[in-house]
Amino acid sequence: MSSVASVHSLWTVAAELPGKIPAPRIEYGQLSPTLIVLGAAVVGVLIEALLPRRSRYYAQLLVSVVALAAAFAAVIGLAAGGFGSSKAGIAAMGAIAVDGPALFLQGTILLVSLVAVFTFAERRLDPAAHGNRVDSFAAQAAAVPGGEAEQAAVKAGFTTTEVFPIVLFAIGGMLVFPAANDLLTLFIALEVFSLPLYILCAVARRQRLLSQESAMKYFLLGAFSSAFLLFGIALLYGYAGTVTYAGIAEVIADGAKQIDPALAGTMGNDALLLIGAALVLMGLLFKVGAVPFHMWTPDVYQGAPTPVTGFMAAATKVAAFGALLRLLYVVLPGMRWDWRPVMWGVAIVTMLGGAIVAITQTDIKRLLAYSSIAHAGFILAGVIATSEDGISSVLFYLAAYSFVTLGAFAVVTLVRDAGGEATHLSKWAGLGRRSPLVAAVFAVFLLAFAGIPLTSGFAGKFAVFKAAAQSGAGWLVVVGVISSAIAAFFYIRVIVLMFFSEPKAEGPTVAVPSPLTTMAIAVGVVVTLALGLAPQYFLDLAGQAGVFVR
């Protein structure tokens, strides 16, 4: 076909379209969790515009909490209505899937976000500045660090209450991300939740330069990886002639049936499929923080305000792994013999890399960042299993891990000295003598990270390793267990440091938090122990949610 003819065919197709475009059908009920959160975000923006500064904090907190709770209730309602199983289907003209994994992940994201919002709203940890209670966020993020404008803003008692609508936008994007059923929705959801996160990383009240640097790095590298993702999407479109998951999967399985004249030269070309799939995978692996796309993690985790770090570490991971699961199980199952060995390699270097580099970290936030990398590797082991057990184990692991992470970062916000949070590990020496309760709670989280029995970490790790072993990836499990052993070293080292080292004279103090942070930590501990002591109920729940709609 000549180029003239192909252009002609494009024109004729385009000319015929107007009459053929049906009015889009939107299932508002099935999309309600996302819509509630995004609507609340818009309300939050209006609050910033319309309400006086004094009342914004409470209004924002109220709106956020109510919206997240309502969205969670909507998820539960959908699940109870059978949308997780028998009525699972595709909504919004094929853009969004409403099925078991989507609802499970959305529920997890909403719960984690609700708890995270509590830590965002914490205003008792820092001493009051000029009589105004302050939170973890800069008085005026746009002011130059250390400049006059900043001092004026602090003096005036400004607070960045915009973080609430921003985080709601991010949550909205995260809710769509694991449910996205075509590549464009996937990309848009990615950007919707990434851009707010870049902003959130930049607005720390203390160490603002570090915070801004981290946001900048995150943004640049995020944009870089988005470009890869987008390129991959383009290649996949070229291969399949469609961006819908089901359409691509069909072409992979049965070959292209109708050759789009405009794509006649590329459709069905396996090279495009392989390269495109690899690049899309890379975009998602960047978000989950897998080696070798993990470099942003430690820097961003360290620089971002700690509540944001906790939120990011927990919720982003859930959303990104959800999207990865759907991509691998719905779009690419037909080529799993191609991607499985590659992903094995990624999982192995991620587990080992995260665990090994964590050994020499001296900053608690960086330590937790590397720990999150190692955990991404463990979760990948479950993802690769390509079985129903693999799905349910990953869902369970994500739920378990996100609460542990959130709780751990919440504890990090409590340990403070004159310069704000005391994140250097040497300052944590002897914490167990001064604040036995806080140290004990942190020890519980560390033991869960290490995967010690009776904590959720053990149940989760056991589940993913079991799924991986059953899928024939025995060596992956061996590497996983070795990495766990390496990882146990640095977790236990912190416990030893807290309980068996002499406290330093000028050591940090443990701030007494408001009920908000207390609740966040308490929820973390309760979930960690509940999922550790009685994992079977939650595993069953994840198992019931474990079928993707196609």
Q: Decide if residue 318 touches another protein (CB under 8 A).
A: no
CA distances (Å), origin 395, targets 106, 169, 495, 547: 11, 23, 28, 11
What's the rounded Cα separation, in Å, for the pair 173 and 191? 8
We find the least distance from the C-beta atom of residue 316 to another protein, in angstroms, to be 17
**φ, ψ at 509 (rounded to 5°):** -110, 160
Applying CB under 8 A, which of residues 12, 55, 151, 360 lies at the interface with another protein?
360
CB of 337 to another protein, least distance (A): 7
Q: Which residues pair with 424 in a beta bridge?
A: 363
Phi, psi of 357 (to 5 degrees): -70, -30
Task: Single out the residue of 295, 452, 522, 530 in contact with another protein (rule: CB under 8 A).
Answer: 295
275 is a site residue for another protein (CB under 8 A): yes
225 binds another protein (CB under 8 A): yes
Q: Which stretch binds another protein (CB under 8 A): 51-59, 79-87, 139-147, 340-348?
A: 340-348
- Please state the closest distance from residue 101 (CB atom) to another protein, in A: 24
Rule CB under 8 A: choose which of 238, 289, 307, 353 binds another protein: 353
Neighbours of 18 (CB within 10 A): 7
Whether the CB-CB separation of 173 and 191 falls below 8 Å is answered with yes
Q: To the nearest whole angstrom, how small is the minimum distance from the Cβ of residue 228 to another protein?
A: 6
Count of residues near another protein by CB under 8 A: 40
Q: How far apart are the two ends of the chain, measured CA to CA in Å?
A: 34
**Position among 271, 496, 526, 534 found at the interface with another protein (CB under 8 A):** 271
Q: How far is the CB of 52 from another protein (least distance, A)?
A: 40
By beta-carbon proximity to another protein, the closer residue of 295 and 530 is 295
Among the candidate windows 102-110, 294-302, 463-471, 501-509, which touches another protein by CB under 8 A?
294-302
Q: 3-class DSSP state for residue 96?
A: strand
Does the footprint of another protein cover residue 224 (CB under 8 A)? yes
Q: How far is the CB of 277 from another protein (least distance, A)?
A: 7
Smallest distance from the beta carbon of 356 to another protein, in angstroms?
5
Q: Which of 262, 481, 486, 529 binds another protein (CB under 8 A)?
A: 486
Give whichever of 298 and 543 is closer to another protein, judged by the CB atom. Answer: 298
* Of positions 127, 265, 341, 474, contacts another protein by CB under 8 A: 341
Q: Rounded to the nearest whole angstrom, what is the least distance from the CB of residue 286 to another protein in the complex? A: 7
Q: What are the angstrom distances between the C-alpha of 398 and each of 26, 187, 296, 533?
A: 30, 22, 21, 17
Residue 481 contacts another protein per CB under 8 A: no
Piece of 172-180, 305-313, 336-344, 447-455 that binds another protein (CB under 8 A): 336-344
Does 453 contact another protein by CB under 8 A? Answer: no
488 lies in the site for another protein, by CB under 8 A: no
* Burial of 129: CB neighbours in 10 Å, binned 0-12, 13-18, 19+: middle
The residue behind tokens 């059953």 is: 470
| DSSP string for residues in 383-444 | HTT-SHHHHHHHHHHHHHHHHHHHHHHHHHHHEEETTEE--BGGGGTTHHHH-HHHHHHHHH
Going 226 to 231 to 237 to 239, the CA torsion angle's sign is: negative
Q: Which of 38, 75, 171, 358 binds another protein (CB under 8 A)?
A: 358
> Which one of 43-51, 120-128, 256-264, 291-299 is the stretch in contact with another protein (CB under 8 A)?
291-299
- Per the CB < 8 A criterion, the answer to whether 500 and 372 are in contact is no
**357 lines the binding site for another protein (CB under 8 A):** yes
Contact flag: residue 339 with another protein (CB under 8 A): yes
Alpha carbon 244 to its chain centroid, in Å, reads: 23
61 lies in the site for another protein, by CB under 8 A: no
474-500 helix and 456-470 helix, angle to the nearest 10 degrees:
160
Following DSSP, what letter does each residue of 507-519 receive, concatenated? --EE----HHHHH
Helix (H, G, I), strand (E, B) or coil at 363: strand
Residue 121 or 357 having the CB closest to another protein:
357
- Should residue 342 be labelled a site residue for another protein when binding is judged by CB under 8 A? yes
Rounded CA separation 391/203 (Å): 36
Residue in 490, 503, 481, 384 with CA at minimum distance from that of residue 435:
503
Q: Does residue 7 interact with another protein by CB under 8 A?
A: no
Q: How far is the CB of 294 from another protein (least distance, A)?
A: 9
Q: Which stretch binds another protein (CB under 8 A): 73-81, 256-264, 296-304, 381-389?
A: 296-304
The type of residue at 307 is: P
Binding of residue 216 to another protein (CB under 8 A): yes
Per-residue H/E/C for 182-209: EHHHHHHHHHHHHHHHHHHHCCECCCHH
Q: Mask: binding to another protein, 162-201, rule CB under 8 A, as x and -?
A: ----------------------------------------
Rounded Cα gap, residues 377 and 370, in angstroms: 11
∠ CA 351-353-357, nearest 5°, is 125
Please, which residue, 95 or 352, has the CB nearer to another protein? 352
Q: Which is nearer to another protein, 127 or 341 (CB)?
A: 341
Residue 89 engages another protein in binding (rule: CB under 8 A) = no
Contact status: 279 vs another protein (CB under 8 A): yes
Letter string b/e over residues 278-299, b meaning 16 or more CB atoms within 10 A of that residue's CB: bbbbbbbbbbbbbbebbebbbb
Q: Which residues bind another protein (CB under 8 A)?
A: 216-217, 220-221, 224-225, 228, 270-271, 274-275, 277-279, 281-282, 285-286, 291-293, 295-296, 298-299, 337-339, 341-342, 345-346, 353, 356-360, 486, 489
